[in-house]
Structure 1
Amino acid sequence: MNTNIKISLDKRRQKKDSSYPIILRLTHFRKTTSISLGHSVQKEFWDDKNEKIKRAFKGTNSVSKLNNQFLKEKARAVDIIDALNEKEELDHLSIVQLKSKIVKITSYESFFVYGKMLVDEMKAADRFGNANTYYAVIKVLEKFTNGNDLKFNEINYDFLNKFERWHYSRGNSVNSLSTYMRTIKAIINVAIRSDVLSKDAYPFTNYKIRTAPTEKRALDITSLKSIMLLDLEESDNLFHYRNYFLASYMLYGISYMDLAFLTTENIIDNRIKFQRKKTAKPYDIGITEHLGKILSFYLKDKSSSDFIFPIIKRDTFELQYKDVLWARKRYNKGLKEIAIKCKINQRLTSYVSRHSFATQAMLQDVPLQAISAMLGHNRLSTTQIYLKTLPNEILDNYNRDLVDI
C-alpha cells in the first residue's frame, strides 16, 4: 500500500506559546498533508517515536485520555483507508480526495477550510500559480464576509449576486470579477468531484460569468522592429527587458515564467526544448539567427544547469517562483519605458509578445491549427481569443478589395 498515517507534531507552525499543533500526518503516493487533531504541545513534551504526549505534560487533566483520543482518530482514519483499499478505490484517489473522506467534510462545512486545504496541496505539488489564485479569492471572500466563516451551503445564486454587487461597488472591473468567479467555480467543482459537495448544491447553474473585451494587445510589425532596433547600453536594465521580450516573441510567445526557468540544459542540437509549466506541454523550437544572438550574450561562462537569463536568484522552487513574480513586475515597468522610447502608444506588457506572435503568424497565413499548436492550446477556440482583434489597417485592406470592383 502506498498510503500511511501517523500522529505527529507539525513543527512548521509554531504558536505564540511555543507549542506546535498535533496532527495526523497523511502520506499518499509520496505526497503529504496534515489533518488537525485540535491540540498543541511544546516540543519537549512530545514523544515522536511513540506518537504521543509525554506524561510530564501539565496542559491537560489526563494525558492518557488525550493520547487515547488521538489513537482513536488514527484508528478511524486507518479503517477508512483499509476499506477504500479493499474496494480497490484507494489508488485512484488524490491525496485531497482521500483527506476529504477522512475528515468528513460535508456541504455544511467551511468553504475556506476546504479552499485552504487545496492551496496547501497545490503548494506541495509546486503548483504555486494556481495556489496563489485560489488563495487570492479566499482572501477576497474573507473580506466580503467581514472575517466570518463561509459554509458551502451559503454559496448560492443570491450569494454570488451579492458578491458581484459588492465587487462593483468598490470600483473593480468585470474581468477581475470573472477571475474570482471562475476560481470559486473551480473549487466547488473539485469539491463535487471529491464527493465533498452534492451536485445539487452547485450554485452556477443560473449564474452567468461575464467578461469584457480586453484592449488590443498585439503589436504591428513596425513596432516590433522599433523594439528590436532600439539602441540600449548593456548596463541598462531596459537592454535585458528588450531581450526578454524579443526572446519570448521568437519562442512562440513563451510566458515570462517559462522564459525565466529556461536553463542551458534546455538547449539541445541548436533547439530549445522545455515543458510549459502551466500545461506541461512539451516544446521543441529551433533557434533562429536572431534568437541565437540574444542567447549567445547570456550563455557566456554558464554551466550546464545554470538559468539562461539572470532572473532567478534563489535555490528552492517556491523562492524561485517568488523571484519570477517580483522580476515580472519590474519587467512590466521597464516595458512601459521601452514603449515610450519606441513611441508605441499601446500598453506594453509581458503578455503582448505572445499576442503579437499569434497575430503576426496569422498575418503570414500560418494555418490556425499550426498557430494553436505553437501556442500550446488544446482548443482552437482558445487560439481564436488571441486572434479576435485584427489590426485596423488589415481590415481596411480587405474592405478596399471588396469595394474596388
Structure 2
Amino acid sequence: IDWTLNQFEDAFLNTSKQGKFNAYFTDRIAELHATGHIGNSQTYKQTQDMLRSYDRKLDQRLFSDIDLRYVRGFDMFLQKRGCCGNTRKFYFKALRAILNRANAEGVGSVATYPFGRGGFEVSKLEEATAKRYLPAAELSKLKSTTASNPQCEYARKLFLFSYYCYGISFIDMAMLTAAQIKQMEDGDYIVYKRQKIKRQKGVKPISIKITPAIRQLIGSLQAASPTVDDFLLPIVTRSGYTGERLYMHIRARYSKYQKYLRLLAEELGIDFHLTSYVSRHTAAMTLQRNNIPREVISQMLGHADLETTNIYLDSFDNEVINEAAKVL
C-alpha cells in the first residue's frame, strides 16, 4: 500500500481525522458554506489561512496542541504583522468558536482549552475606535442636499434609509422583501431579523414603523431603479440569485455603495469619511443626544447586549462635558 507520510503518522500515533484540529476546521468551513452561512465561512477561512501562515505544521496539529502557549504565540505573530487589537480579536473569536464547538461535540481537548478564566482573554484585545457619527450640521446637509451625480444620489438615499431605519446594515437592507412590510393598528412596519444573528436562538425581530420619510425614500428608490423578485429595494439587481451567488452579488454592490458614499461626501463638501457604518453610528448617537435610554437604543439596533451598543456611543460628547463644566 502506498501510504503518504501523514497517513503513516496517523497510524503510528493512533490519531484520527477527528483528533486533528485543522481537518475539523476545514469540515466546519464546508458545513457553513453548504448551509448558506457564507459570511461566517469566509471569516473562518481567513482565520484558517492566517493560522497556516503562522504554523507550517497546522495540518498535523491535534486539538491538544492548540493550548495557551500556542495562542499566545499566534497573537505575537499577528502583532509582528502589524495587526491591531480589533483585527486580532477578529481571528481569535473565530478560533475560539471552533474550539468551543469541538469541545461541545466531544472531539476537542477541554484540558488544554486556551480561553476563558485564567486563559487568553479575547475581550482585552478590543481597542477604542474613532467614533463614526456625523455632526448635526453635516447630517442636516446630507438630508437637504440633492447630489447631481445619479449614483451619489442613490447612495445618499440608501444612507438616509439606513439612518431612519435605526441604522439598518447594508446586507439587511439588501435582503428586505415586500413581504416584510406588516400592517398593524397604528400603521405599516418593516419587520425583519438581522442576517448576522437571525439563526441564533431567541433572536427577536426588529420592528420599524414606516414614517413619511421612509415611505418617500422607498418610493424614490424604486422609481429610480426597478426591483427584482420580491426585494423591497433595488440593491439586488439580478433575479434568481441565491446562496453564494447572491452573497457575492451583494458584496459587489456594497463595494460600489462605499465608493459612491465617498464621492457623495466630496460633492456635498462634507469633511468626513462617509461609509455605510456612519449611518448606524449616527442613528445611535442621535438617539442618545435626545435622551433615549441606552437599553432602548440597544433594542432598536438589534444588539444582544449593552456592551456592543456602548461601542457606538460616547459616554458623553464634548457638548455635554462643556455644559457640565459651566457649573464649576
With normalisation by structure 1, the TM-score equals: 0.68
1:215 aligns with 2:138: no
The aligned counterpart of 1:388 is 314
Residues in 2 aligned to 1:396 and 1:341: alpha-carbon distance in whole angstroms:
32
- Structure number with higher helix proportion: 2
- CA RMSD of the aligned region, Å? 2.3
Cα distance 1:137–1:312, how it changes in 2: closer, same or farther (>3 A)?
farther
Match among 209, 212, 226 for residue 286 of structure 1: 209
8 A Cα contact 1:223 1:342, kept in partner = no
Residues in 1 aligned to 2:249 and 2:321: alpha-carbon distance in whole angstroms:
42
Where do 1:5-404 residues align within 5 Å? 106=18, 109-146=19-56, 148-149=58-59, 150-204=61-115, 205-209=118-122, 210-233=125-148, 236-269=150-183, 270-280=188-198, 281-300=204-223, 305-313=230-238, 315-388=241-314, 390-400=316-326, 402-403=327-328
The aligned counterpart of 2:11 is none
Residues in 2 aligned to 1:148 and 1:375: alpha-carbon distance in whole angstroms:
39
Alpha-carbon distance, 1:367 to partner:
1.8
With normalisation by structure 2, the TM-score equals: 0.83
The aligned counterpart of 1:44 is none
Per-residue displacement from partner, 1:209-261 (whole Å, max 9, x unpaired)?
A: 2121111112222121111223223x621111111111111111111000011
SS of equivalent to 2:276? coil
8 A Cα contact 2:66 2:114, kept in partner = yes
Per-residue displacement from partner, 1:20-77 (whole Å, max 9, x unpaired)?
A: xxxxxxxxxxxxxxxxxx9xxxxxxxxxxxxxxxxxxxxxxxxxxxxxxxxxxxxxxx
8 A Cα contact 2:175 2:231, kept in partner = no
Residues in 2 aligned to 1:212 and 1:200: alpha-carbon distance in whole angstroms:
30
Structure 1 unaligned spans of 5+: 1-37, 39-102
Report how many aligned residue pairs link the two structures.
298
Greater RCO, CA 8 A, separation 6+:
2
Alpha-carbon distance, 1:148 to partner:
4.6
SS of equivalent to 2:207? strand
SS of equivalent to 1:351? helix
Larger CA Rg, structure 1 vs 2: 1
8 A Cα contact 1:264 1:299, kept in partner = no
Residues in 1 aligned to 2:227 and 2:96: alpha-carbon distance in whole angstroms:
45
Alpha-carbon distance, 1:111 to partner:
1.9
